[in-house]
Amino acid sequence: MTLLAIENLSKRFSSGGRAVAAVGDVSLTLEPGETLGLVGASGSGKSTLARILMRLLPADAGSIRFEGEDWLSLSGTDLRRHRARMQMVFQDVLGAFNPRATVASVLDDPLRIHDIVPKAGRAQEIAALLDRVGLPASYAGRSIREVSGGQRQRIAIARAIATKPSLIVLDEAVSALDVSIRGRILELLVELQEERGISYLFVSHDLAVLRAVSHRIAVMEAGRLVETGPMRQVIENPQSPAAKALVNAVPRLVTQPTEGPFHDV
Amino acid sequence: MSTLCEIRDLTVTYRGQRIPALNRIDLDIVAGERLAIIGESGSGKSTLARAVAGLLPLGAKLAGEMRWSSGQPPLPGRDLGFVFQDPSSSLNPVLDIGEQVAEGARRHLGLSWKTAYVRALKMLERVRIAEPQKAMRAFPHQLSGGQRQRVAIAAALAAKPGILIADEATSALDMVVQAEIVSLLDELVREAGMTLIFITHDIALASGFADRVAIFKDGNLVESGLTGNVLASPSEAYTRTLIASHRDLATPPLIREAAP
Ligand SMILES: Nc1ncnc2c1ncn2[C@@H]1O[C@H](COP(=O)(O)OP(=O)(O)O)[C@@H](O)[C@H]1O
Ligand SMILES: Nc1ncnc2c1ncn2[C@@H]1O[C@H](COP(=O)(O)OP(=O)(O)O)[C@@H](O)[C@H]1O
Ligand SMILES: [Mg+2]
Ligand SMILES: [Mg+2]
């Protein structure tokens, strides 16, 4: 059964007397265990779509079915109960965490709020979560400010999987990381998906990142979905001007001697 | 090829720090070249840029030498332009675009405001700002990130400096805009015969247009050389790791793909 179906979703903002169609009539689906890469230029509406999906922002129009529920009309206890099933990981900004938090408290919150594990078992569950994302259990006592950017992103992933979600929305989750760390985080995400059947909506402006992890790719431009298809089809044979521009913009590693006057220095 | 600056045994230690941010660096900057400074965050790239530009913060200790062929260090603004990752750190939010681009030309080229404004408009056209006449009267916050970065480039180049330092100037931009800005920089410095010091964490981005690369890690210069040579046959393990970690559209995916 389709895990997520977004239909005709729209959202306008008005800023400075000017109306912006941040998301315009977007429809897409996501299957269990699948990763949909969402790519587009800055300002194309990717984060707005992600925030509507997370119920952080109301939509103007459209509907979302998630695990068979009419997701946008859920409220109160129903919403709280189902929220555990959809989690989010942001770009590494310290702002995604309470600066006074410890690693343990970051992971304890979802376990407690969503009643995942009774109090007596939580320390053990936190240790298991840390272990799963490749961090020593001794990190539990550290302040969230004391850990590196890559480690913080592992903690954000541990927080996201704590509630046993079926879908994780990742918004530029690896964009701020150094390349060597980025690769290891991507590997971790793929492992977790294979192990737990989690679906990802993976938002990035970087097609090279999406190529590593996506089964399908959707391309946004100025609020609209302009192309969707299997990963290889979109990257190897892009149809829309937006997709073509994105493919052409990915820097290629050139390992031939440089042309030009410095050739023979 | 003449050497513009010989950097010898350069060590920079920030105030209150025990460990130097740059450690005994030997590097030549060649006149008219496009030199890429590559490294992960904290490797000392910006520190090198600030040392070259004479813009280290108060209390930073500098040991070693920078021997400039002209006999004296370049004057920032006049001899050396600087473009940062975040254009808001080089643009003044309360001045209109015209004034900030004109200001450098007026001060360093000795132009009247009137001619400086003419030069500013020409620079905005050169960096291909949409509707340059209108942009002259706009404020930074009214422009997109890519447009702001074009303005920062126009401002940095308004006084016709011989050296341009771009410190992660495209890192906050999306890929399409990044590609546009890189080719714009490349074109502008080529035309003017300027020396470009292009600082980036992205080895592939540098590989596309730099003449030489210098690889930094933890404040040390790992290796430097002609771009093609360093990329095709790196002599250091760290450079090989950087190359291996790079992903582009030819790297095998991490997911298991369904059989076609
Ligand atoms: N809270 C807001 N108020 C006004 N405009 C907004 C707001 N959030 C986003 N926008 C606008 O909506 C558009 C889409 O933004 P966003 O979803 O952040 O794009 P992306 O994540 O693809 O960069 C942009 O034009 C942006 O300026
Ligand atoms: N103003 C400063 N005071 C103290 N330490 C600094 C300062 N600026 C940078 N550093 C430190 O110097 C080292 C090199 O930093 P930087 O040159 O900014 O690296 P990069 O630009 O490669 O990311 C880092 O360890 C950084 O934390
Ligand atoms: Mg976004
Ligand atoms: Mg820097």
- What domains are there in chain A, each with its CATH number? 4-85+165-254 (3.40.50.300)
Would you state the pLDDT for residue B259?
54
As a whole number of angstroms, the distance between CA A131 and CA A125 comes to 10
- Backbone φ and ψ for B176, nearest 5 degrees, come out as -65, -45
Residue B81 confidence class, pLDDT cut points 50, 70, 90: very high
Q: Measure in Å the smallest separation between the Cα of B252 and chain A Cα atoms.
A: 7
Percent of chain B with pLDDT over 90: 90
Would you state the pLDDT for residue B89?
76
Best interface-test mutation with A: which of B142, B170, B249 has the largest number of A CBs within 10 A? B249
pLDDT higher than 80, residue A184: yes
Residue A265 confidence class, pLDDT cut points 50, 70, 90: very low
**To which H or E segment does residue B186 belong?**
helix B175-192
Residue B88 confidence class, pLDDT cut points 50, 70, 90: confident
As a whole number of angstroms, the distance between CA B107 and CA B93 comes to 20
- Pairing mode, strands A199-203 and A35-40: parallel
- Tell me which residue of B133, B105, B110 sits closest to B121, measured CA to CA: B133
Would you state the pLDDT for residue B203?
96
Find the B87 Cα to ligand 4 centroid distance in Å. Answer: 14
* Mean pLDDT of the region A232-241: 98
- Backbone φ and ψ for B16, nearest 5 degrees, come out as 80, 0
Span B112-129, pLDDT tens digits: 999 999 999 999 999 999
Q: Which residue of A has its CA nearest to B30?
A: A262
Residue A93 confidence class, pLDDT cut points 50, 70, 90: low
Residue A258 confidence class, pLDDT cut points 50, 70, 90: low
Ligand 1: which residue has its CA nearest to atom 5? A13
Would you state the pLDDT for residue B86?
83
B176: its two tokens: 């399409």
Count, residues in chain B: 260
pLDDT higher than 90, residue A261: no
CA angle, B140 as apex, B135 and B142 as ends, to 5°?
Answer: 70
Percent of chain A with pLDDT over 70: 95
Tally C-beta pairs within 8 A across A and B.
135
Residue B145 confidence class, pLDDT cut points 50, 70, 90: confident
Among A205-219, B86-100, B179-193, the least confident range: B86-100
DSSP secondary structure code for residue B251 in this structure: S
Best of A9, A13, A205 for a ligand 1 pocket test (most atoms within 8 Å of beta carbon): A13
Ligand 2 contacts CB of residue B214 (under 6 A): no
Partner residue opposite A42 with nearest CB, options B145, B204, B248: B145
Ligand 1: which residue has its CA nearest to atom 7? A13
Using the Cβ of A195 and the Cβ atoms of chain B, whether some distance falls under 8 Å is answered with no
B84: its two tokens: 């940062």
Best of B14, B84, B202 for a ligand 2 pocket test (most atoms within 8 Å of beta carbon): B14
Q: Check: CB of residue B233 under 8 Å from CB of residue B225.
A: no
As a whole number of angstroms, the distance between CA A159 and CA A133 comes to 10
pLDDT higher than 50, residue B216: yes
**To which H or E segment does residue B195 belong?**
strand B195-200
Domains of chain B: 1-71+206-260 (3.40.50.300)
Mean of pLDDT over chain B:
94
Partner residue opposite B212 with nearest CB, options A208, A231, A262: A262
* Mean pLDDT of the region A123-134: 97
Find the B45 Cα to ligand 2 centroid distance in Å. Answer: 8
Ligand 2 contacts CB of residue B140 (under 6 A): no
As a whole number of angstroms, the distance between CA B36 and CA B45 comes to 10
* Mean pLDDT of the region A99-118: 93
Ligand 1 contacts CB of residue A228 (under 6 A): no
Quick check: B256 and A194 CB within 8 A?
yes
Q: Measure in Å the smallest separation between the Cα of B228 and chain A Cα atoms.
A: 3
Provide the residue type at B85 as one letter: Q
- Pairing mode, strands B3-13 and A224-230: unpaired
CA dihedral sign, ordered A47, A176, A255, A42: positive
As a whole number of angstroms, the distance between CA B57 and CA B13 comes to 11
Side by side, which strands form the sheet with B22-30? B22-30, B3-13, B61-68
pLDDT higher than 90, residue B239: yes
As a whole number of angstroms, the distance between CA A20 and CA A202 comes to 24
Would you state the pLDDT for residue A260?
52
pLDDT higher than 60, residue A251: yes
Residue B72 confidence class, pLDDT cut points 50, 70, 90: very high
* Mean pLDDT of the region B148-172: 94
Would you state the pLDDT for residue A259?
56
Q: Check: CB of residue B185 under 8 Å from CB of residue B128.
A: no
Span A32-54, pLDDT tens digits: 999 999 999 999 999 999 999 99
pLDDT higher than 70, residue A16: yes
**Comparison of pLDDT for B85 and A220, the residue scoring more:** A220
pLDDT higher than 80, residue A94: no
Q: Which residue of A has its CA nearest to B1?
A: A265
Ligand 1 contacts CB of residue A40 (under 6 A): yes
CA dihedral sign, ordered A154, A157, A161, A163: positive
As a whole number of angstroms, the distance between CA A5 and CA A31 comes to 9
pLDDT higher than 90, residue A168: yes
Would you state the pLDDT for residue A264?
40
Q: Which residue of A has its CA nearest to B2?
A: A265
Quick check: B204 and A186 CB within 8 A?
no
What ipTM score was computed for the predicted complex, to two decimals? 0.89
3-state secondary structure of B181: helix
Q: What protein residues have CB closer than 5 angstroms to ion ligand 4?
A: B 46
pTM of the entire structure?
A: 0.92
